[in-house]
Structure 1
Amino acid sequence: MPAHMENVDVPTNLAWHYSSAAGLQGIIATHSLRATSAAYMNDANELRTGVAALKKAYEREKPNLTDEEQALVESAGMLRDSAVFSTFLVSASKEHDLLTLWRYYGTDHVAYSIGFDRNVPLMPREQVGGENHPSPPPGYDYVEWDEVDGHRFRATPDPDYLGVLGGQWRDVTYVDRDGDDSHTEYIRNYVARRQSAEGRKKFWVDFGSIADSPINLEKDSGFADECEVRILMDLNPHWKFVKFRESRFGLVPYIELSTSVDADSQGFVPDGVPSHLPIQHIMVGPTANPEAAKLALRLFLDNAGYGDVQIGSSEIPFR
């Protein structure tokens, strides 16, 4: 057996994205990983758990806060629900051989876990070039203006402004859905920072929960066995990056995450051929014939230019 066919020590600190064979083929063929709008995840509470827990912790802590402190919290973005529809999410695991995920993605077929280098950020792939919407809908260019001290300034944001937040793999924190001491401490620390800033007459910007804010990395402790890591991304303009696929929900928005030598300076992967993904290892899930499955996987990767990717197979018995 060739050296790159043998089971080798599995690298640590990889993000393992579980997938069907069709999903693996798509990832390799397009050199991209799909991140889907969080509003269309299988978990209906995706990106809502952290804020919901924070709200419950606040209700318990509220009697211990002064009226001034309550006003600071209630006017803050911290209790505002995340923008689930416009935040894009892709999930993986810290574990490469999890029965729970093999069952979910394998059903009656062989599944795969794809090990991504967590140190390499992924960036959104440009789908439409240019700096302005090529066919803006009615009202897209509407602008409101304000005037302060005789100076006129734009009060509505430029809908075509380019902004990308996120792209790094982050560990998920598993929490009690009713909130715990960490949420109470979060609230107390927020109040202290706000009061300190106001006391020193410092300008305070409150963005709330965006991209991979810690609160968006919280998930119900009932899912702890998944050992999840995730990439969260907020971006603009959507016309430049967002694609759509079919699902039982109808049309589902998603973006393609990839890498490119030109991406670092722009924050996105320019339209064209992206670089190969930072995949280091791929595991074949439980199967009656793991050696045949590895042979096919090896040939597939070699033909696609991923010949340096190591492969292995699950140690979980096939049933």
Structure 2
Amino acid sequence: MTENEADLIWHYTDGAALMKILAKNELWAGSAAFMNDTNELLSGSIQLRKHFEDQRRALPEDVIKGLEEYIPEVRERSRHSFVLSASSDGDSLTMWRYYGRDQVSFAIGLDRNQPLVPLARLTDDNHPNPPAGYIDDIYDKDEDGQIATNPDGSPVVIFDPDWVIIEGGDWKPVVYDPAQQSEIITEIFENLRKGVEEQLTVGRNRHWWLYPYYMNESLDLIKNQGFRDEREERIIVWPNPDWKFVFHRPGAFGLVPYVKLTSWGGVDEDLHEEPFAIEAGRLPIREIRIGPTPYSSEAAGSLKQLLNFHGLHDVKVSYSEIPFRQ
């Protein structure tokens, strides 16, 4: 692996999806609740629940009750997590086999140091069609149940559901090692326990709504070690508000929510006031590798032609070094 390749993360895909990615400068992060693998993104939650049960006898009842809110019995994956997967291996036989069943597959080499951000679906600042009770929890309440106020008389806002908050978004390696997974679970549990104890001691913590985000980022990186050959890395993102960022597409499990990730187009990210884009910018594609095929020359010729059509003249085209077998 060259020094330049070490900065690349590889998103495997087929030809149809590659064409859309190049044309629209979008990568789709799918909802964790609609993953094809029934165990995907559940391993961490299962381990956390087991750790909770192991610790239950040593915890006060009020702490147990508080933890149940954040560590429920596992029934479904979080609908708030959106996941884009890739691999640190740009020539993986495992990945080629998965994506290259009926046609030539491709691995898109993305610059891992260039940020990908959600593409806004709407530019409004407030929910265009808010449901009943949408802002019920926006304000803090005093002991008498009245809206608490600041010294200047303005209401104390705990959480405005229309605030733009985007957690996650960086490439992070999936954790396969059981010992490392155990350390993550222990740390998450202790953070949640301390948070619940703080709420019970000093009253409602104003950052209570962030706990699931902090918890799920690490949980969603835990995966069974039997998949370590994939060398997977993930971008996991939680955008708020959902009405501003979540799109839908038809799928086997119904209408599948997803988030479009794009680039700011090479402009200095410090110039942006918001952590999202309102129009797609050029993705940080540095290289595209063609999967094993007996027609590598023809595949490369057509790929280079397509890249030229999109003005992507600096994108390197390479080939898998794995020999093709019929």
TM bucket normalised to smaller:
0.7 to 0.9
* CA shift digits 1:93-123 (9 cap, x unpaired): 1101111111111111000011111111211
Deviates more, 1:22-31 or 1:137-146: 137-146
1:18 to partner: Cα distance: 0.4
**Which of 218, 230, 234 is the aligned partner of 2:234?**
230
Q: Secondary structure at the match of 1:109?
A: coil
Going from structure 1 to structure 2, the CA distance change for 1:285 and 1:185 (only over 3 Å counts) comes to: same
Residue 90 (structure 2) pairs with residue 90 (structure 1) = no
- Structure 2 vs 1, CA of residues 61 and 23 (structure 1 numbering), >3 Å: closer, same or farther? same
| Counterpart code for 2:66 | S
What TM-score results when the alignment is normalised by the length of structure 1?
0.82
Residue 300 of structure 2 is matched in structure 1 by: 294
Letter in 1 for 2:311: G
CA distance in 2, matches of 1:159, 1:265: 19
In the alignment, does 2:147 pair up with 1:152? yes
Q: SS where residue 250 of structure 2 aligns?
A: strand
Q: Which moved more, 1:230-239 or 1:209-218?
A: 209-218
**Secondary structure of 1:75's match?**
helix
- Residues 184/314 of structure 1: CA separation in 2 closer, same or farther (3 Å cut): closer
Query: Whole-Å Cα distance in 2 between the matches of residues 23 and 32 of structure 1?
Result: 10
Q: Is the 8 A contact 1:61 1:184 kept in 2?
A: no
> Could you say if the C-alpha distance between residues 61 and 175 of structure 1 is closer, same or farther in structure 2, counting changes exceeding 3 Å?
farther
Q: In structure 2, which of residues 58, 61, 71 is the aligned counterpart of residue 79 of structure 1?
A: 71
Uncovered stretches (5+) of structure 1, i.e. residues with no partner: 1-7
Distance 2:202 2:217 in 1: 25
Identity of aligned residues (%): 35
Structure 1 window deviating more from structure 2 (249-258 vs 211-220): it is 211-220
8 A Cα contact 1:160 1:236, kept in partner: yes
Instruction: Give the aligned length.
Output: 306
2 CA distance for matches of 1:230 and 1:59? 29
> Are the aligned partners of 2:140 and 2:158 in contact in 1 as well (CA < 8 Å)?
no
The 1:148–1:201 alpha-carbon spacing in structure 2 relative to 1, beyond 3 Å, is closer
Deviates more, 1:164-173 or 1:183-192: 183-192
Range that drifts further, 243-252 or 151-160: 151-160
- Structure 2 unaligned residues grouped into runs of 5+: 149-154
Aligned-residue offset at 1:126: 1.2
TM-score, scaled relative to structure 2: 0.80
Amino acid at match of 2:253: F
8 Å contact kept, 1:28–1:304: yes
Task: Report the equivalent of 2:174.
Answer: 172
Q: Deviations over 1:158-179 (max 9, x none)?
A: 3322221111111110155x99
- Mean Cα deviation higher: 157-166 or 306-315: 157-166
| Aligned partner of residue 52 in structure 1, secondary structure | helix
Q: How does 1:110-149 map to 2 (within 5 A)?
A: 110-134=104-128, 136=129, 138-139=131-132, 141=134, 143=136, 147-148=141-142
